[in-house]
């Protein structure tokens, strides 16, 4: 199906050598901070078809100690957790479902009631799933309208190819609620507006853009990120500032983009991954990209893949999956401010290969200055060698500059 397009960019992007930010001593900064988690969730296991991916925090309006963390587990569904990491609710994805990213919307008008919502990208069905949050318990009830439109697909055959709804973020603006969604294995980003449809939640497509897939480097050569055949350099991590005006998009093999949240202008690069500009070719024997010599045009602070994004106040948090670092940028300046790592502590092991993250600023129960939740892509629970993932809960003050 055709989507209304307010802005599109299939252009080459030129980076000046200074903007590329290559460092003579090496591509990555040393850690500025190290922090440990105060709690963690139970692991989910790849053997069971579950893979923790992305978290969101709902802050209880009257008692922040009753706040709830939601976490996707792909084919494993969606979980709700207490602030001690205990499981409160599990919602299976169902046949064909795959919940990838999750976000919270507050103050949505539904059936003449003001409600809070949890929304998740369903990669398996190419839709956005919606639940009402019980304002007493934080538990979820499905309020998705029947027969939701596909976000990116034109047919059931295209849905089956999984170039579908992938990354997601959501926000409210003067009573209206919006969702940004990225497309798996493609460069598209779609803007949706949530609607009340007879007491259920549906959405309308408002705009769409395509991130660049080809770049002109400072030496004049052309470069595109290496991907598997038939795929492009997709994005997943998304965040919108507290004003609802500016969106940030993590294109995994490229870097972080800044763009108006209504997608009415072309995006601009905030920072690039260290591997930016490195020539690479897909090797079908190795089933992987084989890199050539680094020309030195990449950034200093991120290593591919750049994954989860979250905004807290005037700062942007990003997970740099390639080197297990989290980078923080000032939104006013657009400049890198610090980096940190989540390391082993008394309550939980550290976090590696992080996909999604979220930040809730201000008191959240025992997290008096705020809560950072990160996915741990390499959880190692004692007594098992099975591949597992989970979420770590980190006091925000441990990673503030």
pLDDT at residue number 23: 36
Q: Residue 273 carries which DSSP code?
A: B
Mean pLDDT of 284-293: 90
Helices (H) and strands (E) in the chain, counts: 2, 31
In terms of residue numbers, what domain contains 227?
12-399
Checking if the pLDDT of 183 tops 60, the result is yes
Torsion over CA of 171, 365, 315 and 128, rounded to 10 degrees? -30
Tokens 């309308």 -> residue: 204
Asked if residue 139 is part of any domain, the answer here is: yes
Share of the chain above pLDDT 70, in %: 91
Asked if residue 5 is part of any domain, the answer here is: no
pLDDT band at 174 (very low <50, low <70, confident <90, very high): confident
Lowest mean pLDDT among 16-20, 117-121, 130-134, 369-373: 16-20
Checking if the pLDDT of 181 tops 70, the result is yes
Angle, alpha carbons 236-118-84 (nearest 5°): 95
Report d(CA 194, CA 173) in Å as an integer. Answer: 11
pLDDT at residue number 307: 97
pLDDT at residue number 47: 84
Of 279, 348, 259, 274, nearest to 304 (Cα)?
Answer: 274
Question: What's the CATH number where 117 sits?
Answer: 2.120.10.30
pLDDT at residue number 30: 52
Contact 359, 399 (CB under 8 A): no
For residue 17, report the phi and psi dihedrals to the nearest 5 degrees: -55, -40
The top-scoring range by mean pLDDT among 21-35, 254-268, 377-391 is: 254-268
How far the first Cα of the chain sits from its last, in Å, is 46
How many domains is the chain built from?
Answer: 1
pLDDT at residue number 103: 98
Look up the pTM and report it: 0.92
- Encoding tokens for residue 338? 């610090």
Checking if the pLDDT of 397 tops 90, the result is yes
Asked if residue 294 is part of any domain, the answer here is: yes
Of 184, 187, 189, 190, nearest to 205 (Cα)?
Answer: 190
Q: What is the DSSP string of 132-164?
A: EEPTTT--EEE-BPTTPPPSS-SSHHHHHTT--
3-state secondary structure of 327: strand
Asked if residue 7 is part of any domain, the answer here is: no
pLDDT at residue number 1: 36
Please, is 185 exposed, middle or buried when counting C-beta atoms within 10 Å of its C-beta (0-12, 13-18, 19+)?
Answer: middle
Contact 119, 78 (CB under 8 A): no
Asked if residue 20 is part of any domain, the answer here is: yes
pLDDT digits (tens, 9 = 90+) for 21-62: 333 333 445 568 999 999 999 999 988 889 999 999 999 999
pLDDT at residue number 286: 85
Contact 352, 376 (CB under 8 A): yes
Contact 191, 251 (CB under 8 A): no
3-state secondary structure of 18: helix
Checking if the pLDDT of 114 tops 50, the result is yes
Tell me the average pLDDT of the chain. Answer: 91
Say if residue 45 is preceded by a cis peptide, omega within 30 of 0.
no
């Amino acid at each position: 199906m055709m989507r209304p397009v307010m802005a599109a960019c299939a252009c080459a992007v030129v980076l000046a050598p200074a903007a590329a930010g290559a460092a003579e001593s090496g591509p990555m900064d040393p850690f500025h901070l190290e922090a440990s988690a105060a709690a963690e969730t139970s692991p989910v296991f790849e053997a069971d078809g579950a893979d923790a991916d992305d978290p969101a925090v709902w802050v209880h309006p009257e008692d922040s100690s009753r706040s709830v963390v939601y976490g996707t587990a792909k084919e494993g569904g969606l979980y709700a957790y207490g602030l001690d990491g205990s499981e409160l609710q599990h919602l299976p994805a169902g046949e064909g479902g795959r919940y990838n990213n999750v976000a919270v919307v507050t103050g949505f008008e539904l059936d003449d009631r003001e409600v809070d919502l949890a929304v998740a990208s369903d990669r398996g069905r190419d839709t956005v799933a919606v639940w009402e949050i019980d304002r007493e318990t934080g538990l979820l009830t499905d309020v998705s309208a029947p027969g939701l439109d596909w976000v990116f697909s034109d047919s059931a055959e295209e849905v089956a190819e999984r170039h579908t709804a992938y990354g997601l973020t959501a926000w409210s603006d003067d009573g209206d609620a919006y969702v940004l969604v990225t497309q798996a294995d493609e460069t598209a980003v779609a803007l949706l507006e949530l609607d009340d449809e007879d007491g259920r939640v549906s959405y309308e497509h408002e705009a769409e853009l395509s991130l660049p897939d080809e770049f002109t480097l400072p030496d004049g050569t052309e470069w595109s990120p290496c991907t598997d055949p038939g795929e492009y350099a997709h994005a997943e991590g998304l965040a919108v500032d507290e004003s609802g005006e500016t969106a940030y998009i993590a294109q995994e093999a490229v870097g972080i983009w800044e763009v108006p949240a209504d997608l009415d202008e072309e995006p601009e690069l905030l920072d690039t991954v260290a591997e930016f500009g490195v020539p690479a070719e897909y090797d079908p024997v190795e089933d992987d990209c084989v890199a050539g010599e680094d020309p030195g045009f990449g950034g200093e602070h991120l290593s591919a893949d750049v994954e989860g994004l979250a905004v807290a106040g005037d700062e942007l948090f990003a997970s740099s999956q390639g080197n297990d670092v989290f980078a923080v940028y000032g939104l006013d300046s657009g400049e890198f401010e610090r980096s940190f790592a989540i390391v082993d502590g008394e309550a939980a092991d550290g976090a590696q290969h992080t996909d999604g993250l979220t930040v809730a600023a201000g008191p959240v129960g025992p997290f008096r200055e705020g809560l950072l939740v990160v996915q741990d892509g390499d959880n190692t629970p004692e007594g098992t060698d099975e591949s597992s993932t989970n979420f770590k809960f980190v006091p925000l003050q441990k990673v503030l500059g």
